Amino acid sequence: MSSQTLLRWLSPLIICVLALGNIFLMCTKYLTSNVNGEATTFQHPIDESANEESPRQAGVRHITRNLVVYNHDSIAFADTFAHCSFNNPNCKIHYHHVQKTGGSRLASRLYPLLSKGASYNSKKWCCQDEMMDRFNANVSQYCEHNKFGIYEVTAPQYSNVIQSCIDYNNAPQQNRNLHEPNEIIGLMTIREPIQLTLSQLHHQCNKNFKHKSPEEQKMCKSCKFLKNRDYFLEYVHQTNLVFLEIAQEIPRLLNMLDGQINHQRRNSTTKAIHKMMILDQADIDSFFKAMESRLPAGVVIPEGRGNEEMTGHCYFGVTSHMMKALAPSLEIYRYLTSGLVWQPASNM
Of 20-24, 195-199, 339-343, the range with the highest mean pLDDT is 195-199
User: What are the percentages of helix, strand and coil residues in the chain, rounded to 5?
Assistant: 55, 10, 35
Which is more confidently placed, 200 or 170?
Answer: 200
- What is the pLDDT, as a whole number, of residue 32? 42
- What is the pLDDT, as a whole number, of residue 299? 95
- What is the pLDDT, as a whole number, of residue 186? 97
Lowest mean pLDDT among 48-57, 156-165, 236-245, 335-344: 48-57
- What is the pLDDT, as a whole number, of residue 320? 94
- What is the pLDDT, as a whole number, of residue 81? 97
- What is the pLDDT, as a whole number, of residue 308? 74
Q: Is residue 18 part of a domain?
A: no
Q: Is residue 25 part of a domain?
A: no
**What is this structure's pTM?**
0.79
- What is the pLDDT, as a whole number, of residue 233? 96
Task: Please give the share of the chain, as a percent, with pLDDT higher than 70.
Answer: 76
Mean pLDDT of 173-193: 77
What is the rounded distance in angstroms from the CA atom of residue 39 to the CA atom of residue 51? 17
pLDDT tens-place string over residues 62-75:
667 799 999 999 99
Which is more confidently placed, 345 or 330?
Answer: 330
- What is the pLDDT, as a whole number, of residue 171? 81
Q: Is residue 244 part of a domain?
A: yes
Give alpha helix (H) positions in 59-213: 74-82, 103-114, 128-137, 139-140, 155-170, 193-202
Strands 341-343, 60-62: pairing kind:
antiparallel
Q: Is residue 273 part of a domain?
A: yes
pLDDT band at 110 (very low <50, low <70, confident <90, very high): very high
Mean pLDDT of 6-11: 53
- What is the pLDDT, as a whole number, of residue 38? 39
Q: Is residue 108 part of a domain?
A: yes
Are the beta carbons of 66 and 255 closer than 8 angstroms? no
Displacement of CA 25 from its chain's centroid (Å): 38
- Our CA angle for 149, 332, 291, nearest 5°, is 40
Q: How many domains does the chain have?
A: 1
pLDDT band at 59 (very low <50, low <70, confident <90, very high): low
Which is more confidently placed, 107 or 306?
Answer: 107
Q: Is residue 149 part of a domain?
A: yes
Which is more confidently placed, 6 or 84?
Answer: 84
Mean pLDDT of 258-269: 78
- What is the pLDDT, as a whole number, of residue 182? 79
Cα distance between the two ends of the chain: 60
Which is more confidently placed, 297 or 29?
Answer: 297
Q: Using CA atoms in the order 253, 255, 256, 258, what is the torsion angle rounded to 10 degrees?
A: 120
pLDDT at 106 over 50: yes
- What is the pLDDT, as a whole number, of residue 264? 77
- What is the pLDDT, as a whole number, of residue 130? 97
- What is the pLDDT, as a whole number, of residue 173? 62
pLDDT at 42 over 50: no
Task: Please give the share of the chain, as a percent, with pLDDT higher than 90.
Answer: 62
For the chain, give the mean pLDDT.
82
pLDDT tens-place string over residues 122-156:
999 999 999 999 999 999 999 989 999 999 999 99
- What is the pLDDT, as a whole number, of residue 57? 46
Containing domain of residue 145, as a range?
55-347
- What is the pLDDT, as a whole number, of residue 160? 98
Displacement of CA 244 from its chain's centroid (Å): 9
Q: Is residue 22 part of a domain?
A: no
What is the rounded distance in angstroms from the CA atom of residue 183 to the CA atom of residue 284? 23
pLDDT band at 27 (very low <50, low <70, confident <90, very high): very low
- What is the pLDDT, as a whole number, of residue 215? 93
